[in-house]
A and B are shown apart, each in its own frame.
Chain A
């Protein structure tokens, strides 16, 4: 197994998860607690990476990050290196393609927080930020854990988008999933087998952990029936 690829994959997944959680909390809170007639459109946009072929998503990201785009040009002139086919470009692509995996479990958890508690918080003088941090998030701990685990796992398993945006640059953009593809292309089946086996075991562990976390909900047991914590796994 390619240790560089493993290290790169873990670094990418960890950074993606941190960024995604920071983004997912306000996005999920907004979708859950600020429902308007246009909310379904926003939910659809967030969920889009689930249904779009990775090649299509990858294509648009490539166009958006490429040297011809305003973002790509600004990045190159500011940091002196192009965004496409770089680790940073890959990070942006991962964040976008894993967004629904981070937002959805949290959204489900937020919507199951009893409205009454949110209203109690409001009448006690708290604004939305305080209500979310002090009431909604603590009651959505297992949803938050699911979000983080799925965001991490999905980034590790991402292939199409990474191939489109990152290419296959060792130490830069070659992740484990690309490494398997590359090994098969080069008829190196033993390397492909070990990396694949690693990813298989890893994924199984991640999902088992998620289900266990969901089962042993963070809410005290007596309340488990009145405040159901949803088991949400998208794939």
Chain B
């Protein structure tokens, strides 16, 4: 299924050509307000475009403000943020709602199949209003599956759930998508969710597509400064390449010099990115494979989830994530002297003016 979307809608202004069958699970990733949900609604046929067109397999689905193929004929399964189950129907009636007329003969069988697929057999007899968020989302998934649609669209499918439910459903959802085999486009602003769910990530920032790549590529090698900011690279500073030798680039960044793999581009102005989890801390310099060892002073120590974030001024302001145990062993305080060590391949360079 080839999706070609070239158009505008509010702040969304995209040129997107993807074959969603190439990877089962595409994730539209970007910060809030980047136009992800708008894009999904345009695909679903719930919103028109201000300008431009949407083609699917060459057929025009939306042309400017005219929706040529209405939502009900697009053969898609849309999962809303907060399930949108019909409160006036039973669980089974909800699941049966979208079964096409031609397949109603085997309604029972399809309902059972969809509920099994969504691992939602346990609570079918309960009223819809009494289901928990996670249970309701499973039923909503079964309802979307029962149509056996050509594509699934998931709009922030986990964001309305509480943290424990979200974490347990996240891995399940990946499994559900892959066992269904239906090409899926999910929308999320959560990096963990993007990492877990995606086979391919489409990064959308301020309404435009910035990068389409494998999740690890997006997170380790963001295409530009905005993607780096969106995926949460903790350290990203402007610098310049001063020398290129033997596949290595020596980069001057603020008051420090670091080594990075030599980039393919020729400009010397760069944005130097290092992820905090790639920076190790030590009391003194040592002979290791870590090519970059910067001596610095701890400026701030703050909790970051189960880890501690240590900000260091090494002539260049960098951040490192270490465990609480490591923090105790190093006896770090604000003002302590410390060595920040990281490998050259951990340094990612982005062309930058």
- Listed in ascending order, the chain A residues whose CB lies under 8 Å from chain B are 114, 116-117, 119-127, 134-135, 138-139, 219-220, 222-223, 227
Contact of B88 with A126 in the complex, beta carbons under 8 Å = no
Do residues B147 and A125 form an inter-chain contact, with CB atoms below 8 A? yes
User: Does B130 belong to the interface (CB within 8 Å)?
Assistant: yes
Q: Is the CB of A122 within 8 A of B87?
A: no
Highest count of chain A CB atoms <10 Å: which of B71, B73, B144, B147: B71
Contacts of A116 in B (CB 8 A): 80, 82, 84
- Let me know if B97 is at the binding interface, CB within 8 A: yes
User: Is A126 touching B72 in the complex (CB atoms < 8 A)?
Assistant: yes
Contacts of B98 in A (CB 8 A): 123-126
- Tell me whether A119 and B72 are in contact in the complex, defined as CB-CB below 8 angstroms, given that A139-B87, A219-B87, A227-B87 are known contacts: no
For the complex formed, measure the closest distance between the CB of B182 and the CB atoms of chain A, giving whole angstroms. Answer: 14
Closest Cβ of chain B to A213, distance in Å, is: 16
Does B78 contact A123, Cβ atoms closer than 8 Å?
A: yes
- Looking at chain A's contact residues, the main secondary structure is helix
Interface check B143, CB cutoff 8 A: yes
Instruction: Determine the residue in chain B with the shortest Cβ distance to A114.
Output: B84
Q: Mark B33-51, 1 if CB is under 8 A from A, else 0.
A: 0000000000011100000
Task: Verify if B11 is at the interface (C-beta below 8 Å from A).
Answer: no
* A122 and B129 contacting across the interface, CB-CB below 8 Å: no
Q: Given contacts A123-B77, A125-B100, are A135 and B46 in contact (CB under 8 A)?
A: no
Q: In whole angstroms, what is the CA distance A116 to B72 when docked?
A: 14
B127 lies within 8 A of chain A by Cβ: yes
A227 to B77, CA, bound (A): 24
Residue of B71, B72, B73, B130 with most chain A CB atoms under a 10 A cut-off? B72
Beta-carbon contact of A139 and B80 below 8 Å: no
Taken together as a complex, chains A and B put the C-alpha atoms of A154 and B143 apart, in Å, by 43
- With A116-B84, A123-B44, A227-B87 known as contacts, the answer to whether A222 contacts B78 (CB < 8 A) is no
A121:B87 contact, CB within 8 angstroms: no
**Chain B facing A: main interface SS:** loop
Quick check: A122 and B88 within 8 Å, CB to CB? no
Give A136 Cβ to nearest chain B Cβ, in Å. 10
Question: Known contacts being A116-B80, A223-B129, is A124 close to B87, with CB within 8 Å?
Answer: no
CB of A123 within 8 A of CB of B129, answer no
Contact A222 B143 (CB under 8 A): no
- The CB with the most chain A CB atoms within 10 A, among B88, B127, B147, is that of B88
Do the beta carbons of A123 and B97 come within 8 Å of each other?
A: no
Q: Which residues of B contact A (CB under 8 A)?
A: 44-46, 70-78, 80, 82, 84, 86-89, 97-98, 100, 127, 129-130, 143-144, 147
Judge whether A124 and B147 touch: CB under 8 Å. yes
Q: Which of B88, B127, B130, B143 contacts A124 (CB 8 A)?
A: B143
Taking CB atoms, residues of chain B closer than 8 Å to A220 are 87, 127, 129
Interface residue from B72, B74, B77, B87 paired with A223 (Cβ < 8 Å): B87
Closest to A140 in B: B88
Distance A117 CA – B89 CA, assembled complex (angstroms): 12
- A124-B98, A124-B144, A219-B88 are known; give 19 further A-B pairs, CB within 8 A: A116-B82, A116-B84, A117-B86, A119-B46, A119-B80, A119-B84, A120-B80, A120-B84, A122-B71, A123-B45, A123-B72, A123-B77, A124-B97, A125-B98, A126-B97, A126-B98, A138-B88, A139-B88, A222-B129
Residues of B within 8 A of A123 (CB): 44-46, 71-72, 74, 76-78, 98
Name the residue on B nearest A119 (C-beta): B46
In the assembled complex, the Cα of A119 lies from the Cα of B129 at a distance in Å of 19
Cα of A49 to Cα of B74 in the assembled complex, Å: 43
Chain B residue contacts of A126, Cβ below 8 A: 72, 97-98
Q: How far is the CB of B44 from chain A (nearest CB, A)?
A: 6
How far is the CB of B151 from the nearest CB of chain A, in Å?
Answer: 11
Name the residue of chain A whose CB is nearest to the CB of B127: A220
In the assembled complex, the CB of B100 is this many whole angstroms from the nearest CB of chain A, namely 6
Residue of A nearest to B153 (CB): A123
Residue ID in chain B nearest A125 by CB atoms: B72
Nearest Cβ on chain A to B127's Cβ, whole angstroms: 6
Q: Which residue of A lies closest to B146 (CB)?
A: A124
Whether A120 contacts B129 by the Cβ 8 Å rule is no
Chain A nearest CB from B12 CB (Å) reads 18
Residues of chain A contacted by B84 (CB below 8 angstroms): 114, 116-117, 119-120
Cross-chain contact B86 with A122 (CB below 8 angstroms)? no
A120 and B88 contacting across the interface, CB-CB below 8 Å: no
Contacts of A219 in B (CB 8 A): 87-88
Most buried by B among A114, A122, A123, A227: A123
The 6 closest A-B pairs by CB, nearest first: A124-B98, A138-B88, A120-B84, A123-B78, A222-B129, A116-B84
